[in-house]
Each structure stands twice: as structure tokens, then as C-alpha cells.
Structure 1
Amino acid sequence: MSNIYLDHNATTALDPRVLESMLSWMQRQSGNPTSRHVFGRSARDAVEHARTQVAEACGAYASQVIFTGSGTEANNFAIKGIAGNQTGSQILYSAIEHPCVSRPAKAMQQLGCSSDIIGVDTNGILSQSQLQKQLQTSTSVASVMLANNETGTIQNITEIAELVRKAGAFMHTDAVQGLGKVPLSFMDLNVHAMTISSHKIHGPQGAAALILDKRVDIQPLLHGGGQERGLRSGTENVAAIVGFGTACELAVANLTAFTHHTKMLRDTFELGLKALDVTIFGQQTSRLPNTSFFALDGIEGETLVTALDRQGYAVASGSACSSDSTEPSHVLLAMGVKPDLARGAVRVSFGAHNTLSQVTDFLTTLKNEILRLRQLTGIAA
């Protein structure tokens, strides 16, 4: 039995072309990018070329790209770095943010900042009217993700950013799930800071970036040798950054094909789901083309995920990045979903290499596992 991977929102496999671009920087002597000799200059050129590739993939200037080690690091950098220069102002974030946004916002309370949560509706769309009221209080930064990692729901970041700007605050968006799945432009989104990550687009883990408007007053993440405009010191991971750049270039080239292919798979999958009496979340609004988040009454999501794993299908019960919690999805609870139903949530996220036959076979397996688990539940009752 071959295993089928349906968890691409968590991480993706390294593209062979990305690996090829990285190998020379991993196998032969390369210099420190800050060194003046030919080895150092060569490494610096490679980093700067990758910076341009990343910038072009998300509608930004190369000078706006600050490399980090992960999306979590970039989000922490944005929240702590911006708010740290405006102690006393509040930090706003949506109720469906990843913990790497909500937790640093809460942690900044130790430095005199307050934080507040912006609510969402039943589709997971941010309440702009609530945001406007909250912005009447002095605000340093507001953070709203472009696309949710669980439901795939896409926010109107351009409109939200305009409200934030008018209030004199800085706007940050976590666009980690958007890169490579929807058209992405830092300029068009009108934000001050944006997070993207390599391993979501078939690049290496350990590379990400904060796209940052140079006019933003932000505290350095790491002090030291002055790398990354003095904002994130430390010797660059040249191989990972080179891979990130290649992955970005490939993601842009494949965007249209990826969108059409994964949407076809998702729509076919959700058509089959309707016969299984499930609830599909966020279906009434714009979503990522590859993402389906659903739940069944009476069956725990973790139980179903484990059962499907034994049958050779890798899916998720929520965000892999916050799998240390057995609590219902905070995203679904924020959307008004009852806790018992939220505990049954399962996420399927398709990739470019998944096929229609895999979807058909998966639906058959899913139906059989649901029937088996319901029979077991009935016996136990």
C-alpha cells in the first residue's frame, strides 16, 4: 500500500529542481556572505539573487525582503518589533490567527502593550465594523492573515489595511498560506509587513521572509553583525535561501496550473463529501483552491485522522503547527461552531501531484472508515 499525502498546508516535499539549486552550496566550499574574498562575494551574490526572486514572487522590492528562519520567526519579528517601539499602544489580531501571531501579541503585555482580538463571522471573515471601533484606541500594529491555514478562507486585506492605515497604525499580514496558491502582491495588499515561508511551496524548511516597508520603525530581531539591514543579524543560511528563491520562481510559474488543478480536486472531493452528511466550513466565501475543512457529528477528528493514516492517507485534524493541543480548533470556535462539532474537524489540502483517482479512492476509504467508526460508536453506546 502506497501512502497518499493530502496535508500540503502543513508542509510540502522539496522540489528536485530546488534541491539541485541548493546542492552546490551544500557540497563545496562556500564563503561567508560577509567575507570580501571571492568565496564570500559568490555567496553574497547568491543570497541577493534569491532575494530578488522572492521579491518578484510577491510583488515587492528586493530591498524589502528580510530573510528569517521560519514563518513563526517572521511573525514574531513583525509583532514584537513594531509594537516594541510603541509601548502602551494596543496590538490587534484576528480571532483566527496562527498562535505565532496571537502568542507574541499576548506576550507583549509584559512590556506594557495591550492586545485585543478582532472577531470573525460564521464564514471566518473579519468584522471590519468591529475593527473600526477597536482602532479608536491607539494601536501600534494590526495583524490579519491573508488565508487561513485551516479553512482556507481568504480575507480582503486591502480593505482592512486601509482602515488600519487611516487609524495611524501599522498593518501586518501572515501570507504564508497564500504564496504559490493565489496571486500575491505586497504593493496591492497595501500592508506594511507580510510573512511568507519556503516550505509551503516545495522549498526547504528553515527559510522564510518578512517583507517590510522600509519606512516602518521596527526593533531588530537579532543584534550582531548587521546582516539583513541590521534587523536580523547572523550568518545567512545560503543553501536554504537559494532554495527559497528557486521555489518562489517555480511557484509563480506554476500558479495558474496549480490553482486550476487543485480546485478541480477539491470541488470533486467536496461533491463526494455531500453524500456523507458532513459540514464543510467556509464554503460560502472565497477560499484557497486546494483546501477543504470539514467535520462529522459524533466522530473525533483525531480518531478519523488516525484511521485514515492506517489506510494510507495523510490528512490533518487542524494546524500541524499547533498540534500540541487537543482542544477544538480555535478557528472554528471563533466562527461560532459548537465545540462538539469542531472536535470532529478534518483538513484535506491538495497539492500539484495529487490526482483525480486518488480523490476518488480517498472518498471510498473515507466513507468506509466513517461507517466503521460510527458502528463502533454505536456498539460502545
Structure 2
Amino acid sequence: MDNAATTKITENVLKAMLPYLRENYGNASAIYSLGQKSRAAIENSRIKIAENLKVKPSEIYFTSSGSESDNWVIKETLNPREKNHIISSKIEHPAILNSLKSVERFGNETSLISVDEEGFVNLDELSEKIKDNTKLISIMFANNEIGTIEPISEISKIAREKNILFHTDAVQAMGNVKFNLKDIDVDMLSISGHKLGAPKGIGILYIKEGVEISPFINGGEQERGMRASTENIASIVGIAKAIEDAYANMDENINYTSDLRDYTIEKLLNIDGIIFNGPIDNRLPGNINITLKDTKPQTMVQYLDMYDICVSSGSACAAGSINPSHVLRAIGRSEEDSLSTLRLSINHNNTKEECDYVVEKISEGMKKFKNR
């Protein structure tokens, strides 16, 4: 029940990867045939991804993670000879928020726009915050904690009208929201493999042709000189297969998961002391975020773990933090409520019977641990 934290590698992905872990293990920079098999695997994967996203293969760059892709955008689109301004939101992933703090040290300015009680960004405030030196707008596609799907096309339109670069972190959206880059019209977009059945340690950054951005890792000529490092061939093949399968089964998986989410939310809200967070509509199909009144979420997480149920008390990247969720604080939840939250994130592999079991154990836990 914590698929927003990570997912298991699917059988199709594993099968596609295996030859590049053993037999076809060559370095893609080598000119002999073993190396060229790896080179072909990379470029074929790039083509597959580009076809699904409806972009050019040359606009797809492989990274190690969604966080790396986010860092690349924030740190390398800025002109080092100028003082730039970046606009983002108060509910972004730490990969964005901490990257913004990093560039502020060099004299750049950042603005974080507010969100409403359901987590949707304030578009009027976005327009008002734009300055003459605004270089970049970075707003996440879908929130990792409360599941809000942001109006990306509307944000893109604002950026286009002002000739400002627009980036979106689509780590949670990929595989859960039906889109292509031709329709949403962004300049840069981040993806992470392990959120959709590919392995950990592989990500993608889409960079639209014509966007000026500096290399992120200097060294060899891998990724057309933009991101040096010997390529992770097997994982590149894996993320390409995961995206291919996600698009092939998108409608079926979204419909199934959304129905299961709504069924589970309805049952959870019958439990005394549970408050629902985030929007009903325009929400990730598998996201369920609830506040447990007068109950410590860490205690509930440990209790559920005794029954082989995995849930989180916030985002995976904030695990172990004793601070209230910045996302829940941004939507107006009190500090106490923000510290008392569970996130369940289901997908098409979960069943109704599993959800019934989880609701039953949460209900038991609420009675057992209330005010403790």
C-alpha cells in the first residue's frame, strides 16, 4: 500500500533487462560488437520512450533518478552571469525545494506560490509573481503526498505568454496520468523509473529542442556530452519497457485503480477520527491521504507492519522526519494534524480484498492507539 514510495520491477521489465546484465554487458562507448549491442539498446530505448511521449528521441536524456533530473533543471538553466528569478510552489518535492535553496546562495531569487485547500496552485498568484528576470517556472505535475494533479497546460500557457521556461516534475504522474508532451507543451520534464515498475537508479529528463541548459555531469561524451558517466544499460532498457507497458495499459489501470481508491476512501471515512486530505477530483488514481485524529501515525505504521501492511506517514523522502508535512501545512492543516497523517498509495496490482483488510486493521488501530 505504498506504491508512491516505490514499486517492484514487473516481469516484463525484468525479462527485458536480463540480457544486458549478463550476456550483452558491453560498454556502449566501445566500438567492438559487444559494446555496439549496448549502444543499440540505449538508442532503441530512447526511440520507444520518445514515441510514447510524442517527442524526438534527441530530446530524451537518461539520468540516475527523478531527483537528479530536477537538480539538473534548477541548477543548469540559469545564466551564471545574471541574477535569475525562479517560480515554484510550496508543495514541491524536496528535490526541487532544496535545489532552489542551493541556487539562492549564488544570488538567485526564488518565489514559492501558494495552493488552495486541495493543493491546486494559485494561477493568479503565479502570474503576479512573474518578473522581468524570471527565467524558469517549475511546478510538479502531481503531488506525491496528497495526489493533486495540477493544471499543467494552463501553467504552460502562462509561461509561453511570458517567454519563460517551464519544467514539471512528473515522477508521480508518469503511468498514473494520461498525457503526452505534444499536448501539455512543457520545456523540461522529470521521470523516475522505480515509480512505474522499473528499477531504482534510473530516471529521465526531457529537454525540448532549443532549450539552453548546461551539462550536468562533465566527463565523457555520454548523452551527447550533457550527462557524462558510463550508461546503465539494463536499467535504461527497463525504464523504456516500463513506459511502453504503462502506455499500453493506461486506461485500464487508471480506471481500475481509481475505482479501488474511491471504494477504500469511502470505507475509511466511516471510521471515527479520520479526515481526508486533498481533492476528490483531479487526483492521482491510487493516492489516499488521511489524518488520524489523536493518533500517532508512526505507531499506526508499525502496527500495520505487524500485519504485513506497508503504508507511510508522509512522503518516502521525508521518512524519519519529525517535522510536519510542508504539503499539509500549505493546504491549511494544523501542525498537529500535519503530524498525524497516513498515505496509502495503491496500484493495479492491489485487490479489493487487500483494501478491506487494510481498512479493518486501521479501524482496529484507531481504537487501540487513540490518545496514545
Query: Same fold by TM-score, threshold 0.5 exceeded?
Result: yes
1: CA distance between counterparts of 2:320 and 2:214?
30
Q: Give yes or no for contact 2:85–2:131 (8 Å, CA) kept in 1.
A: no
SS of aligned partner of 2:195: coil
1: CA distance between counterparts of 2:321 and 2:87?
23
Q: Give yes or no for contact 2:290–2:343 (8 Å, CA) kept in 1.
A: yes
Q: Give yes or no for contact 1:86–1:140 (8 Å, CA) kept in 2.
A: no
1:325 and 2:321 correspond: yes
Q: Give yes or no for contact 2:119–2:279 (8 Å, CA) kept in 1.
A: no
**1:16 Cα deviation after fit:** 1.5
Cα offsets for 1:345-377 (capped at 9, x unmatched): 100111221101111111111111111012xx2
2: CA distance between counterparts of 1:235 and 1:327?
38
Q: Give yes or no for contact 2:275–2:292 (8 Å, CA) kept in 1.
A: yes
- State the partner residue of 1:371: 367
Query: Which residue, 129, 142, 150 being the options, matches 1:147?
Result: 142
Deviation larger for 166-175 or 30-39: 30-39
Alignment map for 1:46-65 (pairs within 5 Å): 46-65=41-60
Query: Which residue, 153, 160, 172 being the options, matches 1:158?
Result: 153
Deviation larger for 333-342 or 131-140: 131-140
Query: Which residue, 227, 230, 244 being the options, matches 1:232?
Result: 227
2: CA distance between counterparts of 1:282 and 1:324?
23
2: CA distance between counterparts of 1:324 and 1:189?
36
Query: Which residue, 348, 351, 361 being the options, matches 1:352?
Result: 348
Query: Which residue, 309, 315, 326 being the options, matches 2:311?
Result: 315
Query: Which residue, 267, 272, 289 being the options, matches 2:267?
Result: 272
Query: Which residue, 172, 184, 209 being the options, matches 2:167?
Result: 172
- State the partner residue of 1:3: none
Query: Which residue, 290, 293, 297 being the options, matches 2:289?
Result: 293
Deviation larger for 361-370 or 320-329: 320-329
SS of aligned partner of 2:77: helix
After superposition, the Cα gap between the structure-2 partners of 1:324 and 1:81, relative to the gap in structure 1 and judged at 3 Å, is farther
**1:63 Cα deviation after fit:** 1.1
The sequence identity of aligned pairs, in percent, is 34
Gaps spanning 5+ residues in structure 2: where?
none
**1:84 Cα deviation after fit:** 4.4
- Output the amino acid matched with 1:225: G
Query: Which residue, 104, 109, 131 being the options, matches 2:126?
Result: 131
SS of aligned partner of 1:314: coil
Query: Which residue, 112, 118, 136 being the options, matches 2:107?
Result: 112
2: CA distance between counterparts of 1:324 and 1:364?
26
2: CA distance between counterparts of 1:36 and 1:311?
53
SS of aligned partner of 2:168: strand
- Output the amino acid matched with 2:214: Q
2: CA distance between counterparts of 1:179 and 1:56?
15
Q: Give yes or no for contact 2:24–2:37 (8 Å, CA) kept in 1.
A: no
Query: Which residue, 48, 51, 69 being the options, matches 2:64?
Result: 69
- Output the amino acid matched with 2:298: E
Cα offsets for 1:42-81 (capped at 9, x unmatched): 1111001111222233332211101000000000001111
- State the partner residue of 1:11: 6
Deviation larger for 320-329 or 17-26: 320-329
2: CA distance between counterparts of 1:190 and 1:164?
10
SS of aligned partner of 2:235: helix
**1:86 Cα deviation after fit:** 6.5
2: CA distance between counterparts of 1:32 and 1:199?
23
Deviation larger for 193-202 or 299-308: 299-308
- Output the amino acid matched with 1:286: N
After superposition, the Cα gap between the structure-2 partners of 1:86 and 1:97, relative to the gap in structure 1 and judged at 3 Å, is farther
Q: Give yes or no for contact 1:150–1:319 (8 Å, CA) kept in 2.
A: yes
1:78 and 2:73 correspond: yes
How many residues align structurally? 371
- State the partner residue of 1:202: 197
After superposition, the Cα gap between the structure-2 partners of 1:131 and 1:258, relative to the gap in structure 1 and judged at 3 Å, is same
2: CA distance between counterparts of 1:262 and 1:59?
25
- State the partner residue of 2:84: 89
| Runs of 4+ residues deviating >3 angstroms | 84-87
Cα offsets for 1:112-150 (capped at 9, x unmatched): 211111110111000011111111342111110000011
Query: Which residue, 188, 193, 216 being the options, matches 1:193?
Result: 188
Q: Give yes or no for contact 2:60–2:204 (8 Å, CA) kept in 1.
A: yes
Q: Give yes or no for contact 1:119–1:127 (8 Å, CA) kept in 2.
A: yes
1: CA distance between counterparts of 2:326 and 2:184?
26
